[in-house]
Amino acid sequence: MKTIPLILMGCGGVGRQLIQHIVSCRSLHAKQGVLLRVVGVCDSKSVVVASDVFTRGLDDAFLTEICRVKSSGSSLSILGSKGGECQIFSNLESVKKVVDIASHLGRTTGLTFVDCSASSETIEILNQAVDLGCCIVLANKKPLTSPMEDYEKLVSHPRHIRHESTVGAGLPVITSLNRLLASGDPVHRIIGSLSGTLGYVMSEVEDGKPFSQVVTEAKCLGYTEPDPRDDLGGMDVARKALILARLLGARLNLDDIKVESLYPAEMGPDKMSLEDFLSSGLSSLDEGIDERVKVASSKGNVLRYVCVIDGSRCHVGIQELPKDSPLGRLKGSDNVLEVYSRCYSKQPLVIQGAGAGNDTTAAGVLADILDIQDLFS
């Protein structure tokens, strides 16, 4: 049986769903000859680790308890040591402990860091993990959209990194692009709708629902980032665009991308709390969006938040598109990407399907972990 030891960073909607998938797929994985051994789970303040990471992981009952505690909104630090089977470390100590485990397991049994946080702070640990021979799997886009130097370090061992869920959640976007590029088929243009949240919001407001109501629904459905302004301001789509553009070889940074925001600067995270934005800011945007939807509709068009990557130029923003165009027909949280390359020059390669949600995202992360099993014994 191959064993893949892993440390999960982030135990929110996606991280918890990943734990549930791992636990419920135990017998399937056993038939495939693979065991996923979760040796540690981190939230923003603490890490829970198995007492002997060389031989044991956290057991399934305890992993389920971790999910219960985190879904109730508590910190991992309230968990006990479970009769000595695990240890809990907080704040700076937790970072030291995680790096310590990486230095022991990285070059022996191997270790995979799975980043399901939404933080830009994980980049330091991830870069250390890479230096220590560990693999990394990310749903978190922020480390991959850090300055070029950090990015290049992170992806310096291509066999050791997987990040399919960073674009299109569980859709095979990165894999498909890598296959085209590896076969010498250069991709020169990608156009698409890459936000599950904005896809859902734009298609729901067409039916006359208020913008604030559908954004709140998207948040409840697990489509939005922890702060939905990341989606509504276009930054989440810009990050996806940057990830794809860098994959295609462009040496761009986030501020090279032109981004259209759906809210004004005075409602930004530096000026308004998330609570105020959700309780009052959001509804003040209803009228303006409704007006734009009506103007588009009077011309037989709909609004879509579109990402265009053309050579090394990227821009993301609202476009008015015919109702019966591929992007105009999108419904719900679906993403669609049209990829133009030498082989797909007139008719693009089209990838479409659910582009957000905890279940599909966590499934994409799980598939990434299984995809690196050859590096483990």
Ligand X SMILES: N[C@@H](CC=O)C(=O)O
Binding residues for L-homoserine are 225
Q: How far is the CB of 241 from ligand NDP (least distance, A)?
A: 14
In terms of CB distance, is 241 or 293 closer to ligand NDP?
241
* Residue 122 binds to ligand NDP (criterion: CB under 6 A): yes
Which residue intervals of 155-191 are DSSP H helices?
A: 173-182
Nearest alpha carbon to residue 176 among 54, 353, 49, 27: 353
Q: How far is the CB of 44 from ligand X (least distance, A)?
A: 18
* Residue 233 binds to ligand NDP (criterion: CB under 6 A): no
Among 115, 164, 236, 368, binds ligand X (CB under 6 A): 236
Cα of 68 vs its chain's centroid, Å:
22
Among 94, 117, 146, 224, binds ligand X (CB under 6 A): 224
- How crowded is the C-beta side of 325, counted as CA atoms within 13 Å? 18
Q: Which residues are annotated as a binding site for NADPH?
A: 141
**Cα Rg of the chain (Å, integer):** 21
Among 48, 118, 136, 241, binds ligand NDP (CB under 6 A): 118
Q: Which long-range contacts (CB under 8 A, 24 or more apart) does 121-126 make?
A: 122/9, 123/150, 123/154, 125/9, 125/95, 125/98, 125/99, 126/154
DSSP letter at 183?
T
* Residue 225 binds to ligand NDP (criterion: CB under 6 A): yes
∠ Cα 347 353 357 (to 5°): 150
Binding to ligand X, residues 160-189 (CB under 6 A): 169
* Residue 146 binds to ligand X (criterion: CB under 6 A): no
Q: What is the rounded CA–CA span in Å between residue 220 and residue 110?
A: 37
Instruction: Tell me which stretch binds ligand X (CB under 6 A): 24-32, 193-201, 204-212, 341-349.
Output: 193-201
Cα of 372 vs its chain's centroid, Å:
18
Active-site hit among 70, 97, 142, 240: 240
Among 197, 319, 341, 373, binds ligand X (CB under 6 A): 197
Active site residue 82: no
Q: How far is the CB of 139 from ligand X (least distance, A)?
A: 8
- How crowded is the C-beta side of 245, counted as CA atoms within 13 Å? 26
Helix axes 358-371, 13-24, angle to 10 degrees: 60
Residue 276, φ and ψ in degrees, nearest 5:
-65, -40
In terms of CB distance, is 42 or 187 closer to ligand NDP?
42
Q: What is the rounded CA–CA span in Å between residue 119 and residue 360?
A: 20
Report what 112 binds from ligand NDP, ligand X, none; CB cut-off 5-8 Å by kind: none
Report what 352 binds from ligand NDP, ligand X, none; CB cut-off 5-8 Å by kind: none
Q: What is the rounded CA–CA span in Å between residue 215 and residue 296?
A: 20
Binding to ligand X, residues 349-368 (CB under 6 A): 355-356
Among 106, 357, 363, 368, binds ligand NDP (CB under 6 A): 357
Q: How far is the CB of 350 from ligand NDP (least distance, A)?
A: 20
Tokens matching residue 173: 């976007």
In terms of CB distance, is 115 or 236 closer to ligand X?
236
Positions in the binding site for ligand NDP (CB under 6 A): 9-15, 42-45, 70, 75, 116-119, 121-122, 139-141, 165, 169, 196, 222-223, 225-226, 356-358, 361
Residues annotated as part of the active site: 240
Positions in the binding site for ligand X (CB under 6 A): 169, 195-197, 223-225, 231, 236, 355-356
